[in-house]
Chains A and B, each alone.
Chain A
Amino acid sequence: MIKYLLVFAAILGMGWILWQLGVEFQTAQELNPLASEYVRGSTSDLNMPNAVTAVVVSYRGLDTLGEVTVLFLATAGIGFLLKRKKRSAGLEIDDADGAANVPVCDESALAGLEFDATGTTDPQNNLSNSLSSLSNSVVKNETLSSSAVKTRTEGSEILKTGSNLLVPMIVVLGIYIFTHGHLSPGGGFQGGVVIASGILMLIMAEVRFHLSHLLLHISESLSGLAYVAMGLAGLILLGVHHFLDPRYLLAGKFLALFSAGAVPVIYSLIGIKVGSELASVLASIQHEGEDL
């Protein structure tokens, strides 16, 4: 009861803080000077219709770099925590479970093997067989005691036919969204998430589709490296104060696809990176605990 009263007091305190924010709030009538400077600069300096893309890629480019770093760290953490068991004959190192995997000699394993050893004609061979199987069962205690073998369930007929039709269209939609990020609402993050959801549909529908984790890691690392390299190219080519300044490529015609300097290239690299990161997160979550 005391706990509920204290929680209620905490909620009232937080509500009072939010009320102080909201009681003097008036909807703004016109843009503040910083935002009007960004809006003016995005059409005249950077030659780009989408002001939000200008703010994300160029004016606040360091925030985007930090976000890409946080995504990378979270993906690495998830990939470290959710492991897939390797099918090995020797000692299985699955040490995140702690005490559950201490090799303990089961009475039942011993009893079953003793009864097996008396039924055959060759005692020496059978003794060595039973000893090796006993050692295997001692070591892989967890895999023998789990009753169900984790297999991948086959997708239904509707899912397979639908995925054959839809996955190419979803991937093309994702590529369209991140290449036209500077002309219409969209950009790298939205396009990357759409591509990752297309790959998720492919994983769910096809049982025999082996997603190569190595390919996803390579594409993610290379695109992240290329993004930082393009930022450094702005630093080298334009002067000291111009990290992540996209003006060193051609400005082009307004509303054309290849315009606004290096912004389409930067957003495409971010889109590829986010797409492969989220696809690897989804693949490692789905295939957790299965045998390779």
Chain B
Amino acid sequence: MFETITLIFLGLISVAAAIFAIYTKRVVSAVIASGVISLSASIMFLLAAAPDVAMTEATIGAGLTTVIFLYALKHIRASREGKDD
């Protein structure tokens, strides 16, 4: 019973974050929203009795993917600043 409520809540957070990531104006907010999707998916994996998958999704999805996105955005912004002299 309690588990079902938690799963429904996490599912609603995931779908709301996906819609937010599509329609927001700033790209950094969209990247952070995709990190939130990965984190709630990781908790849903844990509640579905798959702890290996939960650990992998939490480190890779909510960790390294967000960091690589932010580095790429930094390089894109820096090379645009360099051309606007």
Contact = CB atoms under 8 A, between A and B. Distances in A.
Interface residues of B, number: 18
Given A145-B85, A286-B71, A288-B75, A278 B56 contact: no
B82 A190 contact: no
Given A285-B72, A288-B75, A186 B64 contact: no
- Main SS class of interface, B: helix
Contacts of B81: 148
Contacts of A200: 67
A193 B82 contact: no
A286 B75 CA distance: 9
A197 B59 contact: yes
A147 B55 contact: no
B52 A185 contact: yes
Interface in B44-64: 51-52, 55-56, 59-60, 63-64
In this complex, which of A50, A150, A185, A286 has the most chain B Cβ atoms within 10 angstroms of its Cβ? A185
Nearest to A200: B67
28 contacts: A52-B52, A53-B52, A146-B85, A147-B82, A148-B81, A148-B82, A150-B78, A185-B52, A186-B52, A189-B56, A190-B59, A193-B56, A193-B59, A193-B60, A193-B64, A196-B64, A197-B59, A197-B63, A197-B64, A200-B67, A278-B64, A281-B68, A282-B68, A285-B68, A285-B71, A285-B72, A286-B71, A289-B79
Interface of B: 51-52, 55-56, 59-60, 63-64, 67-68, 71-72, 75, 78-79, 81-82, 85
Given A185-B52, A190-B59, 7 more contacts: A148-B82, A185-B51, A187-B52, A190-B52, A194-B59, A196-B64, A282-B67
Interface of A: 50, 52-53, 145-148, 150, 185-187, 189-190, 193-194, 196-197, 200, 278, 281-282, 285-286, 288-289
